[in-house]
Amino acid sequence: MSLSPETQSRMASDLHANAQECTQAGTQAGTQALTIADIGQPLSQTTFVVVDLETAGGKPVDAGITEIGAVKVRGGEVVGEFRTFCAPGVPIPAFISVLTGITDHHLAGAPTVESAVREFLAFANFESGDQPVLVAHNSPFDVGFLKAACDKFDVAWPKPPILDTVVLARKILRKDEVRNRKLGTLAQFFSAPVSPTHRALDDARATVSVLHGLIERVGNLGVHDLEGLQTFSGPATEKRRRKRYLADGLPELPGVYIFYDGNNRPLYVGTSTNIKKRVMSYFTAAETRRRMTSMVELAQRVDAHVCATSLEAKIRELRMINELRPTYNFRSKNPEKTTWVTLTDERFPRLSLSRQSTLPNSERTAIGPFANGVSAELAMHAIHQATELRQCKERITSKSSISPCVLYEMKRCIAPCLTGANTVGYEEIVAEASLILTGISSEVSNKLMEKIVDLVHDEKFEDAAVVRDRMHALEDGVHRSSKLREISSIPLLIAAQLNPLGGWDIHGFSHGRFAAGVVAPPGVDPKPYVQNLKNSMPTDIGLPTLVSEIELILKWLGDGVTRLVEISEGHTWLHPIHAKARANELVGS
């Protein structure tokens, strides 16, 4: 079955429009070309290989395939067909012969299953530039036998993307339209010119008709690309489709977009290499997230902020989420507050946990951030195990009446709660803990490693694992805080990265924060762009130093392809590398 002339015309128009959009966006942005992930692969440009198998029964592992039929289609037209019998190596059961009409006589002289599968894969050509999609009705059955045959005969399975017309039909067709999703029922519903007969090629041809019918149905719902077809979960609500006008006038450039409701409250902040196309996707059936459906129904306006590079867009997205707290961003519900281990500000300091999303100021010694409270607690235990820092929760004052705890009896605390102002030596203990929190933790690690070795020697492996976990948590916290402190101390750092178009994405950072970005086009001397970037960098960004922003910058700087262009005089910077394999070798990961 071919698609209707109207559908073919629409698919051709979509293809032309996508090509124009890609060209225009690449020209206007001058920074990076759109990728298939941004624009989606048009269905009119997608090659589908529709396959059907007949078997001798049994399990896929037996690879008892008796017939393979396949049809290759593209743009609604058949471009090739394939059919072959296979010798399964076992007799055909009588009930299979009655069902399919295939007997042992038909298979006399047929190629082996291995040979037939190799011929089918050559026909499908899944590893070609077209990247064909494998389609089957009830794909677990057909694909299961094909993969099992490849495994049995040592044939490489190409791992193509797979579409199941049964699954698609369940999502697209209403129950009052078809009584079930059997191939015969669907072929009749879509008026297929070939009826399924339990013969491979006929059933593959019928599946093609079903596939084209389903594509035509979702095309009317705004789904015109492969990604939308793969993720389709039901018709877009009418309210959502009506909101498509919100994308009018948005730039087809990289940057950040913000949805607002009718009261000018921010609903959602996102980023994309093509703002308009990304926003348009929210109004189609391809958007399947329930919370996004609710968000779009509330939205009354979309603002766009164009950015020079994708890194700038990601950083501005972080800042806007932190500032605006949009309702539908998950990050807003737990606004990036991370856990740190620090010393309390009192007469006899102790360790405590602090939760904040920004870098602690220079007057406060802390390590972190930790991924969660459990890791932070482990790091605290490591410091307590290596020092005599008090572990009680009470604040000690001249009026306190606190009795010493068991740690005093174990000689692991000098009990300032007992002696108060007359305590001697606690300042030295605090100084030792402060050094650890400033990154000088090797002595602690050595002590803990010695403890691990002793426990392993005594075959107390569980206890050794506990100490190991504490040591690792402490080292991770020290490592992360050292990286953050190091880069946040640098007034000026400029780095560049070659972009996909052959130009340079150049970024300037100040005290660990993004200050400015610019793109040097391909074939142009980037030095003037670097100078212009320096001249445009603000002296005071005036924003809190978000930990998430610094870590995003560190990830970009340390990806192995970024080049350091300039750094403030008197400063050096090398992306740290930290390893901790020794303890793992002793007690296991």
Residues 273 and 156 in one domain: no
Q: Verify cis geometry, omega within 30 degrees of 0, for the bond prior to 369.
A: yes
Phi, psi of 507 (to 5 degrees): -130, 145
Mean of pLDDT over the chain: 84
Verify that 517 and 543 share a domain, yes or no.
yes
Phi/psi of residue 112, nearest 5 degrees: -65, 160
Structure tokens at 74: 């593209």
Provide the Cα torsion 271, 563, 492, 335; round to 10°: 30
* Domain identity same for 26 and 37: yes
If one counts every other C-beta atom within 10 angstroms of the C-beta of residue 161, the result is 14
Q: Residue 142 gets which letter from DSSP? A: H
Residues counted in the chain:
589
572 in any annotated domain: no
User: Residue 546 has what pLDDT?
Assistant: 87
SS3 440: coil
Residue 25 has pLDDT above 50, yes or no: no
| Domain at 282, CATH number | 3.40.1440.10
* pLDDT higher at 335 or 377: 377
pLDDT tens-digit series, residues 48-62: 999 999 998 888 888
Statement to judge: residues 353 and 480 lie in one domain: yes
CATH number of the domain bearing residue 78: 3.30.420.10
> Is the same domain home to 155 and 40?
yes
- Which one of 433, 464, 487 terminates a domain? 487
For residue 561, pLDDT beyond 50: yes
Residues 265, 220 within the same domain? no
Query: Span 523-531, mean pLDDT?
Result: 94
pLDDT tens profile 141-173: 999 999 999 999 999 999 999 999 999 999 888
Is 578 within a domain? no
Strands (E), 274-322: 299-306
Tokens of 324: 């605006």
In a domain, 422, yes or no: yes
Return d(Cα 211, Cα 165) in angstroms, integer: 6
Q: How far apart are CA 549 and CA 452, in angstroms?
A: 36
In percent, the amount of the chain with pLDDT more than 90 equals 52
- The three-state secondary structure class of 496 is strand
Is the same domain home to 401 and 480? yes
Same-domain pairing of 432 and 455: yes
Name the residue with higher pLDDT: 34 or 78: 78
| 3-class DSSP state of 521 | coil
Mean pLDDT is lowest, of 32-36, 260-264, 492-496, for 32-36
pTM value surpassing 0.75: no
Q: Is residue 413 part of a domain?
A: yes
**In sequence order, which residues have a C-beta less than 8 Å from that of residue 538 and are 6 or more positions away?**
510, 515, 516
Residue 235: which pLDDT band, with cuts at 50, 70 and 90? low
Give 133's DSSP letter.
Answer: E
226-255 mean pLDDT: 81
Strand order in the sheet with 65-74: 77-85, 65-74, 47-55, 133-136, 162-164
372 lies in the same domain as 450? yes
Task: Quote the domain boundaries for residue 202.
Answer: 5-228
pLDDT at 10 over 70: no
Query: b vs e for 309-319, b when ≥16 Cβ sit within 10 Å of the residue's Cβ?
Result: bbbbbbbbbbb
**How sure is the predictor about 297, in pLDDT bands with cuts at 50, 70 and 90?**
confident
| Same domain flag for 147 and 270 | no
Give the mean model confidence (pLDDT) for residues 236-254: 84
Residue 48 three-state SS: strand
Say if 586 falls within a structural domain: no
Q: Considering the domain boundaries, does residue 588 fall inside one?
A: no
Cβ atoms within 10 Å of 462's Cβ, excluding its own: 9
Query: What pLDDT does residue 414 have?
Result: 79
Lowest mean pLDDT among 278-282, 496-500, 584-588: 584-588
Q: What is the mean pLDDT of residues 552-557?
A: 93
| Residue 522 maps to a domain | yes
pLDDT digits (tens, 9 = 90+) for 351-389: 999 888 888 877 778 998 998 889 999 999 999 988 889
In this model, does residue 12 exceed pLDDT 60?
no
Tokens at 523, concatenated: 């074939």
pLDDT of residue 415: 78
Structure confidence by residue, pLDDT tens digits, 400-421:
666 777 777 777 787 787 766 5
Q: Which residues contact 474 (CB under 8 A, 6 or more apart)?
A: 367, 378, 379, 382, 383, 436, 441, 444, 445, 448
Q: What pLDDT, on the 0 to 100 scale, is given for residue 236?
A: 60
Cβ-contact 481, 367 below 8 angstroms: yes
Check whether residue 313 and residue 214 sit in a common domain.
Answer: no
Number of domains composing the chain = 4
Which of 332, 359, 391 finishes a domain? 332
The per-residue pLDDT for 4 is 46
Asked whether residue 388 falls in the same domain as residue 499, the answer is no
Strand-by-strand arrangement of the 504-510 sheet: 513-520, 504-510, 493-498, 563-567
In a domain, 296, yes or no: yes
